[in-house]
Every structure is written in structure tokens, then in C-alpha cells.
Amino acid sequence: MTKVYERILQLFEAEGINTIFGIPDPNFVHMFHLAEERGWSVVSPHHEESAGFMAEAVSRMTGKAAVCIGTLGPGVANLAGAMMCAKVENSPVIFLGGQRARITEQRVRRGRIQFVKQAALFEASVKYSASIEYADQTDEIIREGLRKALTGTPGPVYIEYPSHVIQEELDVPPALPPEAYRLVNQTAGADRIAEAVRLIRAAEQPILLVGHGVHTSRAAESVRALADAMACPVIQTSGGTSYIKGLEDRTFPYGFSAAAIDAVVRSDLCLAIGTELGEPVHYGRGRHWVPNEANRSWILVEQDPEAIGVNRSIDVPLVGDLRAIVPQLVDALKDSPRTPTPQLQGWIDQDAAQLAELAKTAPSGMSPVHPARLIVEATSAFPDDGIMVRDGGATTIFGWTYSQAKPHDVMWNQNFGHLGTGLPYAIGAAVAEGGKRPLMLITGDSSFQFHIAELETAARLNLPLVCVVAVDYAWGLEVGVYKRTFGQGSLETGVHWSKNTRLDKVAEGFGCYGEYVERDEDIAPAIKRAYASGRTAVIHVDVDPKANSEEMPSYAEFRTWYAEGTQ
């Protein structure tokens, strides 16, 4: 006989899941104990919201669903922000919530301890919300949760786990493989593939528009093969800023690269993969897409059929899993790859020159450090095969323009814009990689402090993580909003905080390595020492508050994402 909590682990193991995040209580101690015995990675952070962000990072790094738990009442309440973030970021996270036994829930009583009716509170934030009311529902509810999380547009689910079923036993067969109960590796029809290939071969100026989904589905290798067959530039969406190995030199960020803008304007075919064609790319029909709209065809690889044609019209929709469809395209093109786009080398040279000029012209010799120079110095010291994590407002905007690194894995939440995800994301990504790859978190100070207690979690797990924190002792982006709204010298209510804070000292208190930096020439050496320390590290870098709030690069481009009513 199999206990319910053991069966849940078996069902997740059939999906290749072997990591769980959360703070256990009586509902989950049996599950956690058994998970560790079975070889799972069991990580207990200091806040359930962090657990949700860590699980989301695991899903992004593995291409699979991920799991976190919340204890009954307040623990589940703490998951709410992470649920919403996973929903907007299209991340398949299974949120398991503990709950009182149903005999307690259904009583007409007041003053119940650690109790609120949870499932109804989260229905709008997840793709599926359910409760295991009876032990023999375990298989169908967990499988339905996985089916909903991974079918169509991926997203989170919430499954409640009431205490009255924890110790019940089941007589069940071995867990089924995923393909036995849900659709996997859905391909596109042969006629659609043929039409897409016809358009690709006829195009003179095709581009690949690569979004967040390419990296979260771990499909980079097949997309590289498609880019090679098409011999065209790769345009990154702002959510899909990981670089594919072998395509670094011809991958340009949409809107923030002159080469990208020229390639978009000239394009007569856009093959979009792993992107919703949302506001940051002007729905594929505004701003940079306007000049040549009449001559441009569109192919969209999309898992959710209801997304086709919503944001713009599509000539050839390829509905299915991009992990299956991209190889179909590669196979169809292999015998007749395109001749490289004539302007491709010119765009490569132009983008490289733009990046080098930015590195050269970023203000140096200042103390506090100019935030542009911070980005240049930190990203120039980014380790080979590292994982880049971003967090913060102004710091991230400086990073889009001035980053000198081209990481193969980048972690941040563009769609939801949830601050404070950086440190939990970094921990989750490191756990997914077994702590084998170095990580760099570049963040603003305000964002870093959301979940700063997770430094202890990183230190406990001995993760190779260096946190480079731009410190202006303020909500820098909001300071800029005050100045633009009310003018210089106006009140800046609620956006400044104590200049006595030393984040390097806080790090040392959690058992991490810490350094304080106030000159740009000291940033790279500090990062090198931090990695050499063998410990999780925090580099506190004082940055110039005026530059941080007033000199954000490409800010006008960034604001077009929010052009209400014009897109």
C-alpha cells in the first residue's frame, strides 16, 4: 500500500521532477522526509514567496514543471505573489497548499486557527485549482494539474492537500509516463510546415524573433539549427535575452540595438518562436514594424491555438510544441539552406561596434560609480558558462544597453516586473544545475532587500553566486519619476532610505563573503575575489544617485511599451 504523500511524489517523479521548495508543517513533514530519502533536492527558504520564485527558476532551467508548497493559512497566503508572477510569466509551477481537515473547514464556526478558505482566493491566479478530497482522487487531480500546467500556454496550478488525506493509503500501479495521460511533443501539420518552408525560401530578408519560451523550453540547440538553415539575424525579445550558443554575434536585442531595428524594418518575413508578441515588441505591428508592414509575412510557432491572431494577423500559424515543430522546420530546410542575408555581416559588425563604443564611453572615474560603468565592469567579469540573473528597475534598464556579456541563460521576469525575484531566482537556478555553474545576480539595492534573508539559504547550500548590488539608497526608478513629474528639487516622498546600510556587512552576517566598492576600477577585482572565496558573495557598489535616476539609457524606447491606447 502507498501513502497519499508518497503517491504524489511518484506522480511528480514520472514527469522528471525531483526538487521541492517550501517550509514544511505537519501537512508536509512526511512528504519532505520521504522526498529526501528518495534523493530529491529539498530546499527550505525563509519565505514561501521565495519558494515559489525558486520553483519558477527550476522550471525555466529544466523545461519541466516545478513544485513548491505552502503551509496552511499564512504559508499559502505568502505564495500569492509568486503564483501571480508564474501566471504572467507563463511558468508551469505546481503550488501545493496544506489545509485543515474538511471536517473543520465545513463547520459553521468562528475563530478557527490558521484557517481561511484558500482555493477560491487563487482561482484567478492559476490555470487550475483543486483539492484532493478523497485519497483515490490523488492520481487524477495531480495529473490534471500537470496537464493544465503544461498544455497550451504554460502556467501555474494550485492543488490543496487537506490533512485528513495525508496518511491514507492507496493500492495503485506504477505511475504512468506523461505521454500516457497528456499530449506531449505536439507537431504541426505537414501542410503548414510546407507553407512555412515556402515562405522562408522565398524571403530575401527573413528574421527569427526569439522569445522567452525558447529558453524555458530548453530548445536552444534546435533553434540554432533553424537559424543556421535560415542564415538570418536573430532578434531577441526583452523577455528572451539568453543567447544561443553559436549565435551570439548575430543576435540583437529588439529596440535597444541599431542593428536589430534595421533588421526588423527591412524584414520581409518574421518567424516568431516562443513569444506572445506582447507590448515590449509592440505587438509585432507598431513602432519598428510599421515601415515595411505591407511587405512582411509572419510565421508564428505557438502552443496555444487561442493565441493565434490575437495580437496581430499571422500568415502561417504552426500550432504545437516548439520543441517538436522547430525540428520539423529544420528537417524540411536541410537540403536547401538559404544563402546568408547580404546585410548580416554588416549588422554583426555594427552591433559589435555599438557594444564596444558603449563600453568605451560609459562614464568612469566617478565615486560613487556611474551605473553604466558598473554594468560594463560587472558584465565584463561575467564567468564563462555562467547564469545571469537580473533584478531591479533602473539597474535592469542600464543592463539592457551596457551589458558586455552574452550569457546562455538569463533569468528575470519581464512580463510581470516583480521586484525581489532576483535572489530566489538565482538560488532556484543554481539548485537546478546542481550548484555546478557560477551565477551572477546584478540588482538594485531596493529589490535585493525584498528577500535578503535568502542569503542564508544560498550560503547554507554553498552556491557559487555573486550578487553585484547597485546601491543608491533609494528607489532609483521612482526618484526619476518624481523628477520628470514635478521637476528638480521637488519632494520625493517615500523613495529614499538610510545611507547607513551596508549590504556587504549584512552578507557577512549570513555567512557570505562581502565587499564594499566605491570606485569602478575595483569592481572586477572584487568579483574575482568573490568567486575565489568559494562562498556566496555580495559586492556592495555605491552608485551615483543622480545618474541612476536621470540618465537611464534607451528610456524613451522602454516607455513605448506602455503607450496606452496607441498599440
pTM of this structure? 0.96
Burial 388-419 (b: 16+ CB within 10 A, else e): bbbbbbbbbbbbbbbbbbbbbbbbbbbbeebb
Distance CA 538, CA 515 (A): 7
Q: pLDDT tens track of the chain, all 567 residues?
A: 999 999 999 999 999 999 999 999 888 999 999 999 999 999 999 999 999 999 999 999 999 999 999 998 899 999 999 999 999 999 999 999 987 776 676 667 776 766 777 788 888 899 999 999 999 999 999 999 999 999 999 999 999 988 889 889 999 999 999 999 999 999 999 999 999 999 999 999 999 999 999 999 999 999 999 999 999 999 999 999 999 999 999 999 999 999 999 999 999 999 999 999 999 999 999 999 999 999 999 999 999 999 999 999 999 999 999 999 999 999 999 998 899 999 999 999 999 999 999 999 999 999 999 999 999 999 999 999 999 999 999 999 999 999 999 999 999 998 999 999 999 999 999 999 999 999 999 999 999 999 999 999 999 999 999 999 999 999 999 999 999 999 999 999 999 999 999 999 999 999 999 999 999 999 999 999 999 999 999 999 999 999 999 999 988 898 899 867 665
User: What dihedral angle (degrees, nearest 10) is formed by the CA atoms of 288, 290, 292, 298?
Assistant: 90
Q: Please, which residues have CB within 8 angstroms of residue 319's CB and are 6 or more apart in sequence?
A: 186, 188, 192, 302, 303, 304, 305, 308
Distance CA 293, CA 278 (A): 17
Q: How many CB atoms lie within 10 A of CB 6?
A: 19
Could you tell me if 248 and 406 are in contact, meaning their C-beta atoms sit under 8 angstroms apart?
yes
The cell for 549 is 535616476
